[in-house]
């Protein structure tokens, strides 16, 4: 069955109706919530919402008070998980202005996620405008220092129908959450558990897009990681169960004794925007980067011989987190003696300095919102 959604690109001119919250969080309470927000538990006063149906196309763009959605029990997303999302951050500059990092790349990936999940593709300018409007109205919620405002655009299938088919109606929304570090220990090295029982993605599946189902399927493996005292799970390929793919919510890089980097190739992994940025920054400074398959056996051997110097995880939420320890049913091993390595920490600083506007932006990644 072909999937076609009419009235898509006619919506690029969509204008948001801005309805400020009538009862926003008092300043004192907001300041208290911003002191140590952690990750994903504190939310701002507003949300952006745009709706799609086949008669009107994308319509009803609004920024309004953050509120519950009325959910019919037969809503398609509740049954067949037709849902996608994105994650990006707004950063407060020293001059109190606000930067977004590569929102165009998130808008593009959101569109390709929609295509894979047979959902109505949202025009990229509407995605970006929704994010910018929300950041503007909730700017007081952006933490200072090394904190940031995590933006979560998402789309759900909202047709009330139990047949298995692409929904004819969708709700796109953006919510925002002031955040500190994703991991409790900040940029301290994390430990990861190699999932030998569960895989995340197969060729032809949905591993390369950001749909909620990928994360639902990762939770059992993540729980196994926690049971073994680890912070995150790392998945192997679904065919040979040998090749490193990615973590539950992050990509991974390896640093070798000749100064080169390697990272698993695209295909069944999420094409991370942080991953892509690290490849570009490494190449800028003359570092060789290979996008190549790497097995868990080789990782263990190279860590023991000293050929592998460092490994690190990367993503919007995690930024760059050194990996200190790898655990699996067949034994544990340390990387960099379990300490944070200089390449990971240097790359983290380089990236974060661009994001906060403290360093030059040679690739035009920054979009100033304020
Ligand atoms: N891989 C997975 C499974 C993720 O959830 C994420 C986070 O978004 C990433 C990789 C990193 O992607 P990005 O750098 O675009 O945040
Ligand atoms: C992100 O980094 O934006 C993600 O979606 C990952 C998730 C683990 C929070």
Res. 1: pLDDT tops 50: no
Ligand 1 neighbourhood includes 263 CB (under 6 angstroms): no
Provide the token pair at 338. 């379990």
Res. 10: pLDDT tops 60: no
Q: How confident is the model at residue 5 (pLDDT cuts 50, 70, 90)?
A: low
| CA of residue 184 to ligand 2 center, whole Å | 15
| CA of residue 1 to ligand 2 center, whole Å | 32
Res. 7: pLDDT tops 60: no
What is the pLDDT at residue 126?
Answer: 95
Res. 111: pLDDT tops 90: yes
**Nearest ligand to residue 108 Cα:** 1
pLDDT digit string, tens, across residues 337-353: 999 999 999 999 999 99
Output the average pLDDT for the chain. Answer: 95
Res. 6: pLDDT tops 60: no
**Nearest ligand to residue 207 Cα:** 1
pLDDT digit string, tens, across residues 114-134: 999 999 999 999 999 999 999
| CA of residue 307 to ligand 2 center, whole Å | 30
pLDDT digit string, tens, across residues 264-283: 999 999 999 999 999 999 99
By most ligand atoms within 8 Å of CB, the mutation choice from 274, 279, 312, 355 for ligand 1 is 274
Ranges 10-19, 70-79, 160-169, 215-224: which has the least confidence: 10-19
Q: Whose CA is nearest to atom 7 of ligand 2?
A: 249
What is the pLDDT at residue 14?
Answer: 81
Look up the CATH number of domain 5-179: 3.30.470.10
- Average pLDDT of the residues in 81-106: 97
What is the pLDDT at residue 9?
Answer: 53
- Average pLDDT of the residues in 76-80: 98
5 in Cβ contact with 26 (< 8 Å): no
Nearest to 180 by CA among 217, 142, 124, 232: 142
pTM reported for the whole predicted model: 0.96
What is the pLDDT at residue 276?
Answer: 98
What is the pLDDT at residue 60?
Answer: 94
- Average pLDDT of the residues in 56-68: 96
By most ligand atoms within 8 Å of CB, the mutation choice from 86, 150, 182, 219 for ligand 2 is 182
pLDDT digit string, tens, across residues 174-190: 999 999 988 777 778 99
pLDDT digit string, tens, across residues 283-315: 999 999 999 999 999 999 999 999 999 999 999
- Average pLDDT of the residues in 193-200: 96
Ligand 1 neighbourhood includes 207 CB (under 6 angstroms): no
Assign domain 190-355 one CATH number from 3.40.190.10, 3.40.50.280, 3.20.10.10, 1.10.3720.10.
3.20.10.10
Cβ < 6 Å from ligand 2: which residues?
Answer: 87, 249, 315-317
Q: Residue ranges of the domains in the chain?
A: 5-179, 190-355
For residue 39, the ligand 2 atom closest to its alpha carbon is 9
Res. 238: pLDDT tops 60: yes
- Average pLDDT of the residues in 320-329: 96
- Average pLDDT of the residues in 227-251: 97
Going by their DSSP bridges, the two strands 232-236 and 190-195 should be labelled as parallel
Share of the chain above pLDDT 70, in %: 96
């Amino acid at each position: 069955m072909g999937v076609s959604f009419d009235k898509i690109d006619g919506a690029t001119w969509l204008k948001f109706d801005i309805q400020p919250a009538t009862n926003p969080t008092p300043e004192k309470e907001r300041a208290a919530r911003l002191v140590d927000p952690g990750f994903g538990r504190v939310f701002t006063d507003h949300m952006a919402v745009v709706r799609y149906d086949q008669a009107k196309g994308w319509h009803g763009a609004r920024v309004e008070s953050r509120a519950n959605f009325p959910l019919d029990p037969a809503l398609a997303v509740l049954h067949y998980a037709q849902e996608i999302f994105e994650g990006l951050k707004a950063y407060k500059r020293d001059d109190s202005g606000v930067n977004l990092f590569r929102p165009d790349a998130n808008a593009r990936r959101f569109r390709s996620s929609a295509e894979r999940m047979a959902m109505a593709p949202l025009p990229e300018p509407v995605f970006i405008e929704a994010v910018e409007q929300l950041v503007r109205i909730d700017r007081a919620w952006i933490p200072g220092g090394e904190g940031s405002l995590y933006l979560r655009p998402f789309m759900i299938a909202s047709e009330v129908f139990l047949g298995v088919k692409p929904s004819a109606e969708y709700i796109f929304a953006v919510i925002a959450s002031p955040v500190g570090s994703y991991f409790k220990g900040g940029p301290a090295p994390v430990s990861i558990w190699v999932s030998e029982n569960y895989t995340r993605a197969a060729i032809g599946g949905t591993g390369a897009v950001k749909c909620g189902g990928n994360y639902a399927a990762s939770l059992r493996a993540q729980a196994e990681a926690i049971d073994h005292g680890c912070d995150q799970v790392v998945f192997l390929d679904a065919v040979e169960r040998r090749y490193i793919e990615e973590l539950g919510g992050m990509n991974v890089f390896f640093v070798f004794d000749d100064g080169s980097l390697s990272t698993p190739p695209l295909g069944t992994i999420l094409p991370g925007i942080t991953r892509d940025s690290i490849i570009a920054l490494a190449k800028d400074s003359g570092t060789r980067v290979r996008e190549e398959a790497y097995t868990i056996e080789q990782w263990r051997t190279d860590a023991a011989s000293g050929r592998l110097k460092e490994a690190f995880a990367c993503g919007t939420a995690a930024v760059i987190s050194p990996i200190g320890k790898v655990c699996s049913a067949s034994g544990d091993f340390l990387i960099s003696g379990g300490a944070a390595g200089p390449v990971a920490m240097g790359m983290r600083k380089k990236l974060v300095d661009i994001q906060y506007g403290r360093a030059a932006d040679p690739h035009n990644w920054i979009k100033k919102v304020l």
